[in-house]
């Protein structure tokens, strides 16, 4: 069964550094998403992406964040200058074509900002 | 804005018994989807079951079923014949059907323990 793939599984960075989290959505999916989960808290929506542009973003997704689909397969989340509070599990997801109803999640990237 | 509430931070069940996890939500929309996701210790999000709001019939997937009460805005998950592998965090989630590709809004989660 096709899967959403995320790399790396764990990323450690220093405060103020830039990080790029990478995702390969399922190939025929059209909507892509980033969510994050701070340890012990609920999963929060960051951004959705469709037709090469952001379709929706949350209040969390400020100017420090950006997303890109640099080629036909990868979908990336960049954090320009990481803060301690950016430490979280970041999940990529994509939704099936036609109904876009079901979201398929990757296994996540645990970001630790020191 | 839509909200999802799970009032049970933790639940436990004996193996082979039945357990029900509660979820309520608030929305002014009439067309939406509701989901239960399972998050095991690996922290991957696994879809357990989904319900379309326009369908009166409750969804079932093997040992998992829901009790969807649209007027009460309630969406509980019943796990029958609980197995050790069911132990996980369970999240209830809401998604609008009125906009394509809309966000999922999650509840706080319920940590389920299955006792042998």
- pLDDT classification of B5: cutoffs 50, 70, 90: very high
User: Are B44 and A100 in contact (CB < 8 Å)?
Assistant: no
Q: Between A30, A45, A50, which is nearest B104 by CB?
A: A45
Alpha carbons B93 and B76: distance in angstroms, whole number: 11
Chain A contact for B28, CB < 8 A?
Answer: no
Side-chain half-sphere CA neighbours of A18 within 13 A: 9
Is the bond preceding residue A54 a cis peptide, omega within 30 degrees? Answer: no
Q: Summarize pLDDT for A8-58 with one digit per residue, the tens.
A: 999 999 999 999 999 999 988 889 999 999 988 889 999 999 988 999 999
Beta carbons within 10 angstroms of residue B40's beta carbon: 13
- For residue range B48-76, what is the model confidence (pLDDT) as tens digits? 999 999 998 999 999 999 999 999 999 99
**CA A112 to CA A57: how far, in whole Å?**
23
Contact assessment for residue A96 and residue A29, using Cβ atoms and an 8 Å cutoff: yes
* pLDDT tens-digit readout, A66-111: 999 988 789 999 999 999 999 999 999 998 776 667 889 999 999 9
Disruptive mutation site among A4, A36, A42 for chain B (greatest number of B CBs within 10 Å): A42
Chain B residue closest to A107 (CA)? B44
Query: Between A and B, how many CB-CB pairs are < 8 A?
Result: 57
Alpha carbon distance A106, A24 (integer Å): 9
Environment class of A76 (CB within 10 Å of its CB; exposed 0-12, middle 13-18, buried 19+): middle
The per-residue pLDDT for B100 is 75
Q: What is the DSSP string of B44-77?
A: --EEEEEEETT--SPPEETTEEEEEETTTTEEEE
For residue B43, the chain A residues in CB contact (below 8 A) are 37, 89, 107-108, 110
């Amino acid at each position: 069964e096709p899967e959403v793939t995320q790399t790396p599984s764990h990323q450690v960075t220093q405060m103020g550094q830039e990080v790029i989290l990478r995702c390969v959505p399922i190939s025929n999916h059209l909507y892509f998403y980033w969510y994050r989960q701070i340890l012990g808290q609920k999963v929060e929506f960051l951004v959705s992406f469709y037709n090469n542009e952001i379709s929706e973003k949350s209040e969390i997704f400020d100017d420090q964040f950006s997303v890109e689909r640099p080629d036909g397969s990868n979908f990336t989340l960049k954090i320009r200058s990481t803060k301690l509070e950016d430490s979280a599990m970041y999940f990529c997801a994509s939704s099936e074509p036609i109904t876009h109803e079901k979201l398929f999640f990757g296994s996540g990237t645990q970001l630790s900002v020191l | 804005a839509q909200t999802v509430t799970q009032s049970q931070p933790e639940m436990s069940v004996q193996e082979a018994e039945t357990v029900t996890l509660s979820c309520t939500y608030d929305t002014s929309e009439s067309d939406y989807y509701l989901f239960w996701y399972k998050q095991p210790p690996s922290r991957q999000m696994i879809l357990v079951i989904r319900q379309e709001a326009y369908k009166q019939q409750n969804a079932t997937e093997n040992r998992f079923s829901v009790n969807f009460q649209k007027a009460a805005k309630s969406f509980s998950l019943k796990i029958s014949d609980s197995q050790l592998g069911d132990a996980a965090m369970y999240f209830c989630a809401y998604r609008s059907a009125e906009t394509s590709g809309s966000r999922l809004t999650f509840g706080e989660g319920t940590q389920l323990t299955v006792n042998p």
